[in-house]
Amino acid sequence: MTMTKAAVVVITAFFTTVMTQDMKLPPRFIVQPNRQYYFKVDDATFTQELPCRAKGIPEPYYEWKKFGELLSVGTRGWNWKPNGGGTISINGPDFSDEGYYQCLARNTDGMVAVSTVAFFQRARAGAFPYNQTVETKVVREGENVTLVCSGKPQFPYAAPNPTIQWELYTPASGSVKETQAIMADDKRRQVDQSGALRFAFVTRDDSQPNQQYRCSAYNSLLKLSVFGSPVKLSVDSTNPLTVNAPKLMYKTAPEPSSGPSVVFLKGQNRTLSCIFAGKPVPTIRWYKLDANGRLMNPDGIVDKTQNLVIQVVNFDHEGTYRCTGSNPGGSQSAEIQVAVEAAPFWTKTGRPKDTNVTAGDDFTFECGTEGIPAPDKPKFYSNGVELDLSQPRIVYDEQEPTKFTLKNVSKADLQVFQCNVSNKHDYLYASVYLNVLLRTQLLVEPEQNVSYEEDNKPTNVRFNCSAKGDPMTPLTFTWMYNTPETDKWMPLPAGGPYTFIMDNEHAVDLDISLEKGSVHAQYKCVVENGYMPAEVLATLWNENAGPTSISIDPFLPVWTLVAAVATTLALSLLSSVVIAVIVRRKRRQRYADDAPEMNEELMQTPPAGVGSYEIPLQMNNGTSLSRSLHGENEVTPPAGVGSYEIPLQMNNGTSLSRSLHGENEVADDVPMYLEVPTLNTEIPRTHVRVHAEIGSGSFGQVYMGEIYNQNGQGEWTAAAVKTVRDPHDSALVKDLKDELKVMQILRPHPNVVTLFASCTRDGGVPMIILEYLPNGNLQTSLRNDRARNKAVYNNLYGASASLTSRDLMKYAVDVANGMAFLSSMSILHRDLAARNVLLSDDKRCKVSDFGFARDVIESHQYEMKSQGRVPVRWMSPEALNDQIFTSQSDVWAYGVLLWEIVTLGCIPYPGMSAEQVMRKITNGYRMPRPQHCSQDMYGIMLSCWEGAPNARPSFKDLTSSLNELLVADYDVLTFGEFEEALYDNVDKCDGDEKC
């Protein structure tokens, strides 16, 4: 601490000091090979790549292994792809190239990332047993008949799996003269899952002179068909059947090794099939039975192809299914038992993530998975080498084989750990970077007690605070104050008697000007690096003043100073590593009408006569009333009217009803995060101008407007003014005020709409003043772009389109980022959709309209009570069925928003009514992958649509996954494959739903 009469250097604006420092980051894959590849043998024109690319500091180098042995790339067959990172390619592979391949990315410190295993498999086309003798089947007209390939109800082995087709053809001189394919949608003639052709009934047209039936197995890679033996059908029409009762010809049967049940694998798309004979063709209905044998869907599901398609199998699909075939001759039923198994998947703890551990602490690596059958014990690796779990510092219990603990970590323990878990279906692999951080240490502490006498008062008092921390992590210095009057620590505002002085990147001092007033308080310097804070107290005492309180202007901006000695990972990967010293400005607290004191800048008033604008307000009787937003003679709802009560869980488990209005609160013993300090955002109405309406809904209206002195320069700034449609509706007024209360606890975030100010306490029409975003909402922007570029998106790559794949991915990342922030503040959205995302001038997405669904304290749930229009197509099963909204239901809605982005603003579940959507979602239906959407992107959507809410990722996880796709060097969306016809003219939905 120093006392001086001289002036000090004042920090008055944002500044940055840049230093360069070595940084090391482990290899991280941005592109990996797929699990399966097929190749053609002895075809010099055939080329295959196995992609592999990682990023890290220093830049990684690559190795490949085949069957676990190092592959000599460049010596025979396989070669490095120029500028392809670790990608290898081969021309004209032969039999010896078949095998299992794996890519390893290493850096000079020995840290390694290990890719998925790719099976490089030779394409094959097996042959049917062939008999040149033509088999003839004689059947009575109207009866059913089955034709099988070459006398066997099965098709030959091939890689990849072949497609079985049947055709009616006329042989002529050893060549095919005429061919008629049996179409897949032919109700009377169907090919079952074993490859047999089944006729529900035959007609005389099925038997033509010189015509024969034959089956073929087509290999799409080899472009080769192999044919089965021919069969001739002879139909006796002398005594035809006119009506034939349904008879089961085929149903999906279990594999011999799977017992009595047909086994489906979680996540796959599967089909159950029942084929009934009969004349006329039977109508097939599908039912599911509960555990007691009762029908769960009494009306059944009708499918014209006699199949039941299950998209994205989950555990809810397990059980007994009944198929019933009916026609005028009668009916017949059959049952199929379905069991659902699963490849390993992460438990509720989720995929292991990179971990920061403070030196001296313990590190636990848990690789928790489930699966059916249960996965084997995990295998653990360190930098790609199997880990010796018997090491002295490793604690491993065979009874808990999914985890181990490394004791007392140090900087020497920086490494990449991996785990591998498998069952008979597949394996699961994860890599975790262990980063060891140093604790924050105070180097220079402020003196704990400083006193002075009024008649010998120094000009300034300076408290010194210096610290050091891990060189890879930003240091955050925060000065706080506490007074005897409040006994509550609060961030110290910059301005008035207080100045923060940055001596260097490790020190931020507090300078107090005693000439600007009597200052008496306790101060605290808090230094943290995000993992281990350090703090120290100091007291400044005026001997003459006695125990008086500090006088702090509540409208001064609060500053937090950050000595950043590392920049973010994403930027450091693209450029040299920098260390930034940053002063971050927290949200400016707005001033109130009745503030006792105001600094000179904020006391400026707008020119006379401006700011008083009239807008029409609809009265309940439908007439229009011209009413001033300044609120003269305004009628306000009576206290307590429309006060929406929600249950709050107390610590003892009992429920406390508390009004979001805050009047007449029942008890003070509420969870701590209800006490988050809110900003005072009220301003005089004379500081607001209201212009034309720019948007409206069932409950509110939004006007183009301006706010005075928002930037502190005495100028008018464009803003959006949000108010209620009917100010006499106390419920609408309360909703708007509840939205304001939510926004008042938020600090500014680049992907959330910013609150400027409010006018709600003076009896006038309530208004919320928000930042103005001129580019409108994301839904409209996407649709406009699709309309402008319809022809472009149907051409390869869409090179001339105004939106690129990267633009759309950036939109997705922005929204996930904004929602991660809101969920971290325990705020639910409840209506997340592209229409509620706004676009800034620089095309940044900002989440809006989230205020009506505040987190409901400990349960993190919100029960929907309103009966307004409902966004059915964005709602999760638990929201649709139980009206319960959680952060996980917001994640479901985000998956639908991703689909909106990918399809350029189309209405989800195209062609379906709201009722159909509700039924299908409840029955496990998920929207299929758009053809132009990569499997990786679609996989993120499906993870959001998991049936079990706890199985869905968090918004933080989604942000991480999408950022990985954003930096990937392949097109996540390929507009050349955009199926415009599928998404055209589907931008309308039912009138009673919100779209």
Of 985, 890, 991, 982, the C-alpha closest to 927 is 982
Binding site members for ATP = 722
| Of 771, 799, 820, the domain-final residue | 771
Residues 714-768: pLDDT tens digits? 788 999 999 988 888 888 888 888 888 888 878 788 899 999 999 988 778 899 9
| Tally of domains in the chain | 6
**Chain CA centroid to CA 190, Å:** 41
985 Cβ neighbours under 8 A, 6+ residues apart: none
Question: For 313-320, what is the mean pLDDT?
Answer: 92
Are 418 and 465 in the same domain? Answer: no
CATH code for position 915: 1.10.510.10
Tokens standing for 968?
């990937």
Residues 640-649: pLDDT tens digits? 322 222 222 3
Residues 377-436: pLDDT tens digits? 999 999 888 999 999 999 999 999 999 999 999 988 988 899 999 998 888 888 898 988
For every residue of 476-512, DSSP letters joined together read EEEEEEE-TTT---EEPBSBTTEEEEEEETTEEEEEE
What pLDDT is stored for residue 796 in this prediction?
Answer: 31
Are 401 and 532 in the same domain? Answer: no
CATH code for position 399: 2.60.40.10
What pLDDT is stored for residue 798 in this prediction?
Answer: 35
Are 112 and 151 in the same domain? Answer: no
What is the rounded distance in angstroms from the CA atom of residue 295 to the CA atom of residue 315? 18
Flag whether 649 is in a domain. no
pLDDT at 593 over 80: no
Q: Is the CB of residue 854 less than 8 Å from the CB of residue 738?
A: yes
CATH code for position 746: 3.30.200.20
| Of 486, 511, 542, the domain-final residue | 542
882 Cβ neighbours under 8 A, 6+ residues apart: none
Q: Is the CB of residue 369 less than 8 Å from the CB of residue 345?
A: yes
pLDDT at 619 over 60: no
Binding site members = 722
Mean pLDDT score of the chain: 75
What pLDDT is stored for residue 854 in this prediction?
Answer: 40
pLDDT at 589 over 60: no
Are 822 and 917 in the same domain? Answer: yes
Give the range among 44-58, 107-121, 248-262, 865-879 with minimum mean pLDDT: 865-879
Residues 914-972: pLDDT tens digits? 888 988 898 888 998 888 888 888 889 999 999 889 889 999 999 988 988 877 656 67
What is the rounded distance in angstroms from the CA atom of residue 439 to the CA atom of residue 433? 19
Give the residue ranges of DSSP H helices in 631-777. 730-744
Flag whether 659 is in a domain. no
Flag whether 731 is in a domain. yes
Are 381 and 299 in the same domain? Answer: no
Are 817 and 953 in the same domain? Answer: yes
- Residue span of the structural domain in which 101 resides: 25-122
Residues 142-186: pLDDT tens digits? 999 998 887 655 567 788 888 888 888 887 644 444 567 776 667
Q: What is the C-alpha end-to-end distance of the chain, expressed in Å? A: 62
pLDDT at 40 over 70: yes
Of 148, 65, 60, the C-alpha closest to 105 is 60
Tokens standing for 240?
């035809």
What pLDDT is stored for residue 264 in this prediction?
Answer: 94
Are 188 and 255 in the same domain? Answer: yes
pLDDT tier, 338 (very low <50, low <70, confident <90, very high otherwise)? very high
Flag whether 86 is in a domain. yes
Do you find a cis peptide bond into 26, omega within 30 degrees of 0?
no
636 Cβ neighbours under 8 A, 6+ residues apart: 733, 763
Stated as kind and residue range, the H or E segment containing 701 is: strand 700-708
| Of 105, 122, 139, the domain-final residue | 122
Does 977 or 667 have the greater pLDDT score?
977
Give the range among 178-187, 219-228, 669-678, 687-696 with minimum mean pLDDT: 669-678
Are 181 and 308 in the same domain? Answer: yes
Of 890, 895, 905, the C-alpha closest to 962 is 895
Are 116 and 76 in the same domain? Answer: yes
Give the range among 77-86, 465-474, 670-679 with minimum mean pLDDT: 670-679
What pLDDT is stored for residue 449 in this prediction?
Answer: 64
pLDDT at 613 over 50: no
Q: Is the CB of residue 269 less than 8 Å from the CB of residue 313?
A: yes
Tokens standing for 498?
């207080």
pTM of the model: 0.49
Give the residue ranges of DSSP H helices in 136-233. none
pLDDT tier, 650 (very low <50, low <70, confident <90, very high otherwise)? very low
Are 101 and 146 in the same domain? Answer: no
How many residues are there in the chain? Answer: 995
Of 351, 359, 352, 373, the C-alpha closest to 406 is 359
Flag whether 103 is in a domain. yes
Are 738 and 825 in the same domain? Answer: no
For every residue of 66-111, DSSP letters joined together read ETTEE--TTTSSEEEPTT-TT-EEEES--GGG-EEEEEEEE-TTS-
Q: How many CA atoms lie within 13 A of 3 on its CB side?
A: 11
Flag whether 593 is in a domain. no
Are 197 and 186 in the same domain? Answer: yes
pLDDT at 568 over 60: no
Q: List beta partners, residue 655.
A: 649
Flag whether 903 is in a domain. yes
Q: Is the CB of residue 945 less than 8 Å from the CB of residue 917?
A: no
Give the range among 78-82, 94-98, 477-481, 683-687 with minimum mean pLDDT: 477-481
**Residue corresponding to tokens 């880990």:** 387
What pLDDT is stored for residue 932 in this prediction?
Answer: 85
Question: For 76-88, what is the mean pLDDT?
Answer: 90
Q: Is the CB of residue 364 less than 8 Å from the CB of residue 409?
A: no
pLDDT tier, 356 (very low <50, low <70, confident <90, very high otherwise)? confident
Stated as kind and residue range, the H or E segment containing 528 is: strand 521-528
Residues 108-149: pLDDT tens digits? 777 788 888 899 999 988 777 766 778 888 999 999 999 888
Residues 796-852: pLDDT tens digits? 333 334 678 888 999 999 999 999 989 888 888 888 999 999 999 888 999 988 754
Flag whether 406 is in a domain. yes
Residue type, 310: I
SS3 category, 101: strand
